[in-house]
Amino acid sequence: MARVARQLPRSSAWRAAATILLGRFTKNGALPAPLPPQGASMGPSQDRVALFPGCVASVEDAAAQRAAATLLRAAGYEVTVLPAFCCGAMDAHAGAAASAQASAEAVREAFAGSGASQLVTATPGCLSTLRHALPERSADDVITLLAARADRLAFRALHERVALHIPCTQTNVARSDTALRTLLSRIPGLDAASLPAQPTCCGAAGTHMLDFPERAQTLRDMTLRQVTALAPSRLLSSNVGCRMHLAAGMTPETAVPDLHPLTLLADQLESP
């Protein structure tokens, strides 16, 4: 992760987030302890989950991490929040195999100390790497767990049109795109207009936007034209890398606020 951070532009939010997280490790390289579990503390073991915040997402998408914990607890889960560090995906994209393997070991160490039976993340870009690190345990998208208990969640009405961007990782890895639409449909009055399906991604694709900026910009422009055509008040996307990439290409005339769908769901959650 340190190697990747050094390769990023000094003005990059990715570099800033990675540098912050590298500084959180203690001098001997140990991880901070997971935060104490909160929620249904007397529930059965299958209700105890460990929430993995990631690296960039823990800084640039902190609201979504808080929203994930809030929604999971409202659905009856006991939640332990793991320390924020890179899952290894960034190093894997950069070909830093040894660093990626060290991150995988850190994932196993943090999960083992959590007391949870399942690992969850709000960042679908981390999911494949997390599953590789824990091949014998369950690692899933927060959205999948919430959709399974959607009947426990009630939301306030919101009369608004939003554009819904489904990241490639959500469709092909997490496979939670249908679950997300199910959850959003439970907000009365919300018009969640999905961007048209296309054979290409938005251009972010992990470090692709850094390694191949011209091609990434072309793909981004295609996606942003679709967003503009929907005339939304906000743009929803569960992948922080996609959102940062898309936001960087917006003009003052076409810019709309972007946020994680979990943040919107938590904002509309009815108090118990």
Give the model's pLDDT for residue 27.
44
* Co-location of 162 and 258 in the same domain: yes
The answer to whether the predicted template modeling score (pTM) of the entire model surpasses 0.85 is no
* Co-location of 127 and 197 in the same domain: no
Tell me whether residue 181 is in a domain. yes
Give the model's pLDDT for residue 199.
66
pLDDT band at 7 (very low <50, low <70, confident <90, very high): very low
Average model confidence (pLDDT) for the chain? 83
Distance, in Å, from the CA atom of 23 to the CA atom of 7, rounded to the nearest integer, reads 17
* Co-location of 143 and 159 in the same domain: no
Tell me the average pLDDT across 234-242. Answer: 92
The SS3 of residue 117 is coil
Show the domain range for 42.
Answer: 33-148
pLDDT one-digit tens code per residue, 162-174: 999 998 888 888 8
The count of structural domains within the chain is 2
Distance, in Å, from the CA atom of 156 to the CA atom of 167, rounded to the nearest integer, reads 26
> Which one of 84, 114, 148 terminates a domain?
148
Q: Which residues pair with 193 in a beta bridge?
A: 163
Angle, helix 240-248 to helix 213-230, in steps of 10 degrees:
90
Tell me whether residue 65 is in a domain. yes
Number of other residues whose CB lies within 10 A of the CB of residue 45: 10
Helix (H) or strand (E) holding 160: strand 160-165
> Which one of 93, 123, 148 terminates a domain?
148
* Co-location of 179 and 251 in the same domain: yes
Give the model's pLDDT for residue 44.
41
pLDDT one-digit tens code per residue, 220-235: 989 999 999 999 999 9
Tell me whether residue 19 is in a domain. no
**Which of 36-45, 159-168, 192-201, 253-262 has the least mean pLDDT?**
36-45
Give the model's pLDDT for residue 195.
92
How remote is the C-alpha of 2 from its chain's centroid?
Answer: 21
Q: Which residue in 235, 242, 265 sits closest to 167, CA to CA?
A: 242
Which of 29-38, 83-92, 184-193 has maximum average pLDDT?
A: 184-193
Burial class of residue 82, CB neighbours in 10 A (0-12, 13-18, 19+): buried
Tell me whether residue 213 is in a domain. yes
**DSSP of 166-206:** --HHIIIII--HHHHHHHHTTSTTEEEEEPPP-SS--S-TT
Q: Would you say residue 146 has pLDDT above 60?
A: yes
222 close to 200: Cβ distance less than 8 angstroms: yes
CATH number at residue 87: 3.40.50
Q: Would you say residue 70 has pLDDT above 90?
A: yes
119 close to 111: Cβ distance less than 8 angstroms: yes
Helices (H) and strands (E) in the chain, counts: 14, 8
pLDDT band at 47 (very low <50, low <70, confident <90, very high): confident
* Co-location of 159 and 257 in the same domain: yes
Give the model's pLDDT for residue 272.
64
* Co-location of 176 and 107 in the same domain: no
**Which of 14-18, 59-63, 122-126 has the least mean pLDDT?**
14-18
